[in-house]
Each structure stands twice: as C-alpha cells, then as structure tokens.
Amino acid sequence: MILNIDLASAVPIYQQLRDQVVEAIADGELAEGSSLPPIRTLAADFGINFHTVNKAYDLLRKEGLIRLNRKTGAVVAASAADPPFAADWTARARTLLAEAVARGLSADEVLATCRSVLDSFASTHREDTP
C-alpha cells in the first residue's frame, strides 16, 4: 500500500491517512489481517509528528476497521456493518451528495460518479469471490 500525503491540502494529514487506508481496504489492497506500517515508522517516512499518525490509526480503530495491539501493531480487522455505522454513513453520504448538487452537478452526473466508484470497489471484491 502506498500512501501519499499532500501537505498543502486543506484536508488534515490524519484524515488523508485515514481516508487512504479506508480506500485501500475497499479496493481489496488491504485484506483482513494485513499489517499497516508502525506509527513511528510512518511518521518518520513522512516527516510528520507521530501523534498525527496515531490520530489516524485511532479513528480507524474506533470505526472498527483496524485492530491495534502492542505485539502485532495495526492490523486490518474483519468487516461487519452495524446499525450505528449505517446511520452515520447515510448522514455523511447525504452531506457529500448535497455538496455535489449545490456545486451544480446534475443528478445523472452524481449517480454516474457514484456508480463508477462503487463498481471499482465491487469489481475488486468480485475477483475474490468464487
């Protein structure tokens, strides 16, 4: 997994790290049980404070996407959607879709983009299924 950080971005670094790990899981690049780089190593590689990486990993842990353990480090957890996640996800999706519409994208453009992104994740998971 290759992570890219844009220091000039308005998106906080911890959020960039979190989002890229989520996308790598969705893409199938990181499967259940995959190890993530140690916090201090990742911080040193990017020249950022280790607390920044720790914040990203802690978010992922709270979201149930990774497990943190002293011995094994950060490991991708088994996926399972729960009702609180579904409600939170729906609220975030609503806001993101509202932003697209407010910026002038048509419903067809929004749906085409959603379908394209979803299909890219689904095709990765279909390859793993017999």
| Band (130; pLDDT cuts 50, 70, 90) | very low
Residue with tokens 């995959």: 34
Q: Is 35 helix (H, G, I), strand (E, B) or coil?
A: strand
Each residue of 39-80: pLDDT tens digit?
A: 999 999 999 999 999 999 999 999 889 999 988 899 999 876
Q: What is the pLDDT of residue 13?
A: 97
CA distance linking residue 55 with residue 61, whole number of Å: 10
Q: What is the pLDDT of residue 107?
A: 94
Q: Other CB atoms closer than 10 Å to residue 6's CB: what's the count?
A: 9
pLDDT over 60 (residue 129): no
CA distance linking residue 102 with residue 18, whole number of Å: 26
